């Protein structure tokens, strides 16, 4: 049944196709899923119609650093509080579908946001998976902009308040890491993980190929983008990071499932490492960019029919 999807990215809502995959056939689930923080239209996974949710405060209007806000400008209303619950329900909708498709003892790496990862964990645990660990991907740098509250008060003519709050800012700490929830599908009662490795070929960790500077890996992962690595998605992860996770838990010839393929990084990494992949992407723009990127990686040439505007985009992002 998997032949239809093997080594292909399918343009579709994954939930329409996951039930068609062969049971107990997937060796690794690895996906940078939507975070549910309203980053863009594809990340709005709730029915909230609060107009303040995706707006900008007066101080942010017209500034390139602020695209849109993932939380309401004027505080949380009762309706806003349902966003997390709806996101969790969305995660559960596909998590329940992948449960029968994963081999016993198989790993699942799920990227998430610091303030919504708990909903992902709840959904996958409710679906039967066990949380093994929570890894931290440390980025090389973190773009950060926190507004000085003294300036806000000065613009309001509140000089005393401005002096009293000098040095204070509005915002968060620099977001230098992102969490990765590591789950496993439980193996049969009465057996051991070693028995499971013999029977299903998954469950062990490949320390030999994943050492970093001669030392065994830890749950703090520091990977950046390689020079000239093409970046075609605002949430794209470094190829080296995805390669590491694939090498850590699978062998050549095994199957990696990514139902939220985005920029195609999982497909590229799997192809490079001699693994098979099954991928789905719901946004046509990213689906086509992922195919073009995969074709470029496979043959080191741009595929026929690539639009000039897309070619320029790929080259421009590659320089970054």
Range of weakest confidence among 56-65, 108-117, 174-183: 56-65
Choose between 187 and 182: higher pLDDT: 182
For residue 45, what are its two tokens?
């996974």
Q: Percentage of the chain surpassing pLDDT 70?
A: 79
pTM of the model: 0.84
- Between the alpha carbon of residue 180 and those of residues 2, 12, 108, the distances in Å are 27, 25, 10
Write down all domains in the chain, each with its CATH number in brackets.
2-141+176-319 (3.40.50.150)
End-to-end CA distance of the chain: give it in Å, rounded: 40
| pLDDT, tens digit, 9 for 90 and up, residues 244-268 | 999 999 999 999 999 999 999 999 9
For residue 48, what pLDDT band results from cuts at 50, 70 and 90? low
Range of weakest confidence among 37-46, 110-119, 135-144, 170-179: 37-46
Residue corresponding to tokens 């999982």: 266
Write down the mean pLDDT value for the chain. Answer: 85
For residue 40, what pLDDT band results from cuts at 50, 70 and 90? low
DSSP per-residue codes, 65-115: T----SS-TT---TTTTHHHHHHHHHHHHHHHHHGGGEEEEEEEEEE--TT
pLDDT of residue 58: 57
Dist. CA 48–CA 78, nearest whole Å? 10
CB 43 within 8 A of CB 36: yes
């Amino acid at each position: 049944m998997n032949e239809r999807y093997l080594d292909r990215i399918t343009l579709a809502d994954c939930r329409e196709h996951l039930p068609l995959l062969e049971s107990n056939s997937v060796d690794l689930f690895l996906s940078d899923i939507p975070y549910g923080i309203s980053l863009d239209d594809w990340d709005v996974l709730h029915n909230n119609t609060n107009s303040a949710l995706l707006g900008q405060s007066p101080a942010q209007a017209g500034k390139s650093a602020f695209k849109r806000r993932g939380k309401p400008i004027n505080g949380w209303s009762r309706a806003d509080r349902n966003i997390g619950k709806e996101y969790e329900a969305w995660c559960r909708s596909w998590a329940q579908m992948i449960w029968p498709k994963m081999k016993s003892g198989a790993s699942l790496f799920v990227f998430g946001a610091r303030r919504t990862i708990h909903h992902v964990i709840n959904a996958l645990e409710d679906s039967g998976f066990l949380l093994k660990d929570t890894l931290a991907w440390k980025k090389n740098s973190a773009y950060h902009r926190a507004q000085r509250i003294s300036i806000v008060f000065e613009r309001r003519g509140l000089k005393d308040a401005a002096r009293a709050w000098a040095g204070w800012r509005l915002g968060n700490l620099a977001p230098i890491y992102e969490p990765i929830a590591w789950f496993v599908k439980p193996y049969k009662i009465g057996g051991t993980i070693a028995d499971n490795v013999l029977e299903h070929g998954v469950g062990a960790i490949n320390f030999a190929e994943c050492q970093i500077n001669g030392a065994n890996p830890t749950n703090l992962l520091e990977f950046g983008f390689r020079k000239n690595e093409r970046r075609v998605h605002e949430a794209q992860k470094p190829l080296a990071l995805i390669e590491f996770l694939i090498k850590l838990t699978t062998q050549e010839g095994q199957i990696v499932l990514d139902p939220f393929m985005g920029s195609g990084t999982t497909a590229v990494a799997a192809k490079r490492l001699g693994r098979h992949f099954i991928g789905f992407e719901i946004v046509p723009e990213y689906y086509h960019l992922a195919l073009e990127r995969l074709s470029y990686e496979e043959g080191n040439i741009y595929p026929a029919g690539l639009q000039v505007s897309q070619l320029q985009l790929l080259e421009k992002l590659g320089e970054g």
